């Protein structure tokens, strides 16, 4: 888990208030942590001890979502709002959030959105326009865009039909 989160031994040691040597021994299976130590480690990752110790770990290692099982949701407030489908909603402890987006055909206002992390868009069908500070990018089927999502942005479908876009967000 430390490596999945790109943490060094020193960072985990500092966050958990445990020695670097002890954390290393736990990782290598040379020592078994007490429950209080396990709680410190789990707290450092923002998870429960059960999750740290692998409860349902194997069943969570793979997440299969068939098209008819996707959870759909829309941004509230407008019939022309964004339409999303989660494509890995059941996967826990993920660093990426992938979904299918159908951007609106028009904007109801001038709002731009920003959030932590990085965002990747791949146009599956149709055309989209992405507004970023100082520029607008038009993408067609097969085109991709990768950007820091702290930049204010918004997306709309271009034409008469809703575009479909694979979007992957990684919180950093």
At residue 67, φ and ψ (nearest 5 deg) are -50, -45
Going along the chain from its start, the domains and CATH numbers come out as: 9-55 (no CATH), 67-170 (2.60.120.10)
pTM > 0.75? no
CB 130, CB 154: distance < 8 Å: yes
> Mapped to the 3 state alphabet, what secondary structure does 90-158 carry?
CCCCCCEEEEEEECCCCCCCCCCECCCCEEEEEEEECEEEEEECCEEEEEECCCEEEEECCCCEEEEEE
> pLDDT in tens for each of the 172 residues of the chain?
788 888 899 999 999 999 999 999 888 888 777 666 777 888 888 877 766 766 555 556 677 777 787 777 665 444 457 778 777 766 666 678 888 999 999 888 888 888 888 999 999 999 999 999 999 999 999 999 999 999 999 999 999 999 999 999 887 6
């Amino acid at each position: 888990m430390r490596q999945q989160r790109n943490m060094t031994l020193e960072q985990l040691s500092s966050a958990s208030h445990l020695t670097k040597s002890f954390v290393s021994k736990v990782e290598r299976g040379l020592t078994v942590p007490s429950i209080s130590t396990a709680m410190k480690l789990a707290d450092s990752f923002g998870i429960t001890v059960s999750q740290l110790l692998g409860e349902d770990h194997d069943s969570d290692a793979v997440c299969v979502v068939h098209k008819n099982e996707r959870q759909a949701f829309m941004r509230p407030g407008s019939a022309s709002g964004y339409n999303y489908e989660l494509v890995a909603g059941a996967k826990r402890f993920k660093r990426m959030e992938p979904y299918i987006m159908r951007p609106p055909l028009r904007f109801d206002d001038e709002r731009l959105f920003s959030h932590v992390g990085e965002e990747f868009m791949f146009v599956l069908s149709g055309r989209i326009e992405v507004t970023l500070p100082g520029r607008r990018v038009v993408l067609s089927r097969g085109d991709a865009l990768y950007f820091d999502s702290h930049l204010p942005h918004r997306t709309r479908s271009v034409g008469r039909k809703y575009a479909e876009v694979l979007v992957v967000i990684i919180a950093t």
